[in-house]
Amino acid sequence: MQTTTQTAPAPAKSQTTRNIVIAVVVVIVVIAVLVVALEFNSGGVTIGPSAPSIVVVSGSASTKGLGTHPVSLGFTSDTGQLYASTVVGGAYSVSLPNQQAYTVTISWSGAFDSSGTCSAGSFSIDQGSGGSAILTENWSC
């Protein structure tokens, strides 16, 4: 009895090239997934909208003294930085850094060249992720 062994034919060059290309693509995808995972775990990736760094605060300003009217508003942050806004027709608008507390002072003018300031109060801006970059605050003193 005679035994014959058959050997499988060598794969064609195009099959070998195809296998190499598939292997390279798999390696690239694995590397990309690892990079994204590392960035995500290190806090380098933010998912969703981030908190605004600047918030536009606008509204009205008024004074209670007879014959007086507001001229400007001063917003002093908890870090000591002063931001000012002119009052026109009883309205103001100012851009302020987010996530800080502010004290508000109204500068006023009145009859007979009188003028002065009064404390209107305080407030905090803490607009988190997806928070509005626009706020309305009304002030009076």
The residue to which tokens 């605004």 are assigned: 52
Phi-psi region of 71 (alpha: psi -120 to 50; beta: other; left: phi over 0): alpha
Q: For residue 56, what pLDDT is reported? A: 95
Q: Is 0.75 topped by the overall pTM?
A: no
Q: How far is CA 43 from the centre of its chain?
A: 16
The residues facing 54 across adjacent strands are 97
Using an 8 Å Cβ cutoff, are 109 and 118 in contact? no
pLDDT over 90 (residue 129): no
The confidence band for 128, taking pLDDT boundaries of 50, 70 and 90, is confident
* CATH for the 54-140 domain, from 2.115.10, 1.20.1260, 2.60.40, 2.40.50: 2.60.40
Mapped onto helix, strand or coil, the DSSP state of residue 38 is helix
Q: For residue 20, what pLDDT is reported? A: 73
pLDDT over 60 (residue 3): no
The confidence band for 111, taking pLDDT boundaries of 50, 70 and 90, is confident
| Beta strand pairing call for 54-62 and 68-77 | unpaired
